[in-house]
Amino acid sequence: MAIKIELSKQSVPINKIPKHSVDWVMRVLVIRKGSVISYNNSRHEGTFQTVILVDDDGTKLQAILFNKHIDTWEDFLKTNKTYYIAKGLLDRVKPNCTSVHKKIELTITDNTIIKKSDNVVSTHNFSNGFVSLEHAEKMPNGAIFDLLCVLVMMNPIIVKGDSKRHKIVVTNEREIA
């Protein structure tokens, strides 16, 4: 318990952490865990997984887990749960990779500390990129945006030519009759 209290006191927003710093603690909500993907390049081969995190300010950060770290944190890191993360490797976004943050991404290392937080990240403060369902229904087809909602149903994959997609049903209410 004492460790969580200390982590809480030290926690800072993602955008306040200096790049390349190792002395920081962030409190974040896991909003998405990607699939485990194999890679093979001239220097290494293995697997990686991306995890999208968001802090109380709504700032998103992509965390990357490689090889053994995927197995280490697989059963612990859960979507829609809040964690304190410290001592990961913060580095600039690689130019040939996509990321949710314009400047930095987080690599989980052997030294990274991850502890579950009892203090949840409030999604009510998010203002950058999330739109309401009412606003989304006024957007043109093909628009790309972030939406916070409750999944009601996901239909099987629809395949048309080279395109694969799901038809999903969402709601803005937690209680579904």
The CATH number given to whatever domain includes residue 21 is 2.40.50.140
Query: How confident is the model at residue 73, as a pLDDT?
Result: 94
168-to-65, 99, 151, 153 alpha-carbon distances in Å = 29, 25, 8, 6
Q: Is residue 52 part of a domain?
A: yes
What is the domain count for the chain?
2
Q: How far apart are the C-alpha atoms of 99 and 91, rounded to whole Å?
A: 12
Domain that holds residue 136: 129-171
Q: Is residue 176 part of a domain?
A: no
Encode 7-20: b = buried (16+ Cβ within 10 Å), e = exposed.
beeebeebeebeee
Nearest to 8 by CA among 67, 82, 58, 74: 82
Going residue by residue through the chain (177 aa), what tens digit of pLDDT does each one get? 456 677 777 888 998 987 667 789 999 999 889 889 999 988 889 999 999 999 988 888 999 999 999 999 998 999 889 999 998 888 887 766 667 777 888 999 999 999 999 887 876 665 556 777 788 888 888 777 777 777 888 888 888 887 778 788 888 775 555
Same structural domain, 134 and 117: no
Same structural domain, 78 and 47: yes
